[in-house]
Structure 1
């Protein structure tokens, strides 16, 4: 294989569930696409389908973007029992397979435009179902997951990883702790690659507003229901403080009803999704993350970069790699609502602690700067070409 120099750049394909969904992985995908493009690579971002709840993106991204389906593709439904006699079921499966064949053919067509030395980075587990059927001749394949080993092990994606990733050129976890867990589980060619800090605000938050903020999808993984329960323990002791919840998702009606039942409507603000995360953090004194599972959370890093002290559940290796408990943030045992409430009470009740932890967080989180993470990617690309 011809070695492509960094000077002329490589062809890089970044594959995700979607190219436009509101969420951290999509934001990370476009962040890395911009970095790779600026470094001289030719980038093409590919999603399985277009999303319903969309991330706001610039009109001209500067690189190619393709969705293989206009909407979520049909889920495979095995035809068993009496369904074998149902022509509608057979017709539906015929259409699904034809659509999949077209999507695989489109992916193969895109891959064939690649110059020698090209790399496909499959940023989430699901797109590998299409990649493994496409013609990837001449490509190096890097598989990734943006969640912890433990979270993947507990769900259906674990089977997909075990089925699809043993043959890739490199399988990347987000932390070395997660990588070690995958190696112990029998996976080979495993490495670690952290997410990069997207933005370091020129001016940190003054931490003077009596505001605690949360940023994330209103979905089970993000644990906003546990956050509402936590706030029910904090709010009576912190009159004048407000919890601002930024995000959108299918769980919003239930979460609002929970908030009402607990009598929290006066101190909770449902802010909806935001395109101005730095602005949201600048108007906050404390950041809280109540997730049941995480990978390497970007919102947590962005809060620290804004010098906003964080309280979070220690739900994944990525969280405790970003936050040094007691030094630049406060961690609580996973799912322990009383402990998370304690961390919030400490931060909201002690301005000196907020200032000290916030300032240390802003300094420490810069070890994940875009420049440093990009260097690690370039080293990996060079290693795979040997």
Structure 2
């Protein structure tokens, strides 16, 4: 991979909720850490705390990885009413505040050791609490949001962004459409930066197996319950096809019960988390994504890079930025399981359509190659130094 610019070396801190959680944001952080490091930068990955559900990371990493707290920290609370007079409550909250201050001091020490011109990239909203309390003198602070404007607008992270992100040097969404929505909402220091395609397999999927694959955490956001509802409409029409669900998470027991209740145990395989995404995709002919909300989904890009056509809910600008509906994949209205079933029936029932869309998907997704995205980052660093 070559990048046209010849940047000077920088210290880059990548700060997420955790450094090792199984999920797309953490995978993105380590992908970018590797890219920045191979391009001559000194990289340090940071997390608020270690995760319980771990992402498998290569060893050795080649860059430091630091968690500021040994476990998920309890936020100090403002004591009101009778609680503020209870000595035990006051001691507990004082301990929480002192614990956070120790973490902030440790973060400040890391930042002060950086060379001039260093960059802090805060990949999720929560860690900005620590960054804003730390000493960032001489550093450029970039905030990020890895989800769509609409998804953030509907939850508590909207308030956090409105409170914290006006104070950063620059912040990034994943698409121009999301950036425009935030600008219309009064945020004026915002741009966009797509995720990078992590891997382009040398050989695409042969698309011969009668398999539909889903890859993602078993979490409400990923909408596997809606996928099962859709598959209940597909399975009777495609009795020789199998749905393989790769992933783990807190919803697994409920989802398995739903699967049984829908009479799908004969056509659904629960395969748990996988560290071999290319292998999972090589054994599939169709990829399905049923999320309620997304940012710029890496699994969708990986499927397309493997030449596997996708059926997905059009739940975010990032999804329709990646998939060109009708050209290299098929999109369904968000949350409409019947429409998603229709797209799956079209792809599973027409091998010529699958092959044509798969070939175009593999070609089109390369516009998000690591080289292109790294070049965009280097240009952004240069602009922020002006």
Equivalent in the alignment of 1:221 = 221
Q: Partners in 1 of 2:278 and 2:89 — Cα distance?
A: 49
| CA deviation map 1:51-84 (0-9, x unaligned) | 0000011221111111101111114444333333
| CA deviation map 1:75-100 (0-9, x unaligned) | 44443333334333222211211110
Q: Partners in 2 of 1:254 and 1:375 — Cα distance?
A: 44
**Displacement of 1:6:** 4.7
In angstroms, what is the RMSD of aligned CA positions? 1.1
Equivalent in the alignment of 1:182 = 182
Ranges of 4+ aligned residues in structure 1 off by more than 4 Å: 5-8
Between 1:198-207 and 1:73-82, the stretch displaced more is 73-82
**Displacement of 1:7:** 4.9
Aligned length: 382
| CA deviation map 1:236-288 (0-9, x unaligned) | 11011111111110010000010011111111111111000000000001000
Q: Does 1:120 align with 2:140?
A: no
Q: Does 1:98 align with 2:125?
A: no
Equivalent in the alignment of 2:210 = 210
Q: Partners in 2 of 1:150 and 1:8 — Cα distance?
A: 37
Which aligned pairs between 1:1-386 and structure 2 lie closer than 5 A? 6-386=6-386
Preserved contact between residue 6 and residue 40 of structure 1 (Cα < 8 Å) = no
Q: Secondary structure at the match of 2:166?
A: coil
TM-score, normalised to structure 1's length?
0.97
Q: Partners in 2 of 1:79 and 1:245 — Cα distance?
A: 46
Query: 5+ residue gaps in structure 1?
Result: none
TM-score, normalised to structure 2's length?
0.97
Between 1:167-176 and 1:79-88, the stretch displaced more is 79-88
Query: 5+ residue gaps in structure 2?
Result: none
Between 1:367-376 and 1:6-15, the stretch displaced more is 6-15
Preserved contact between residue 20 and residue 51 of structure 2 (Cα < 8 Å) = yes
**Displacement of 1:298:** 0.2
**Displacement of 1:8:** 4.2
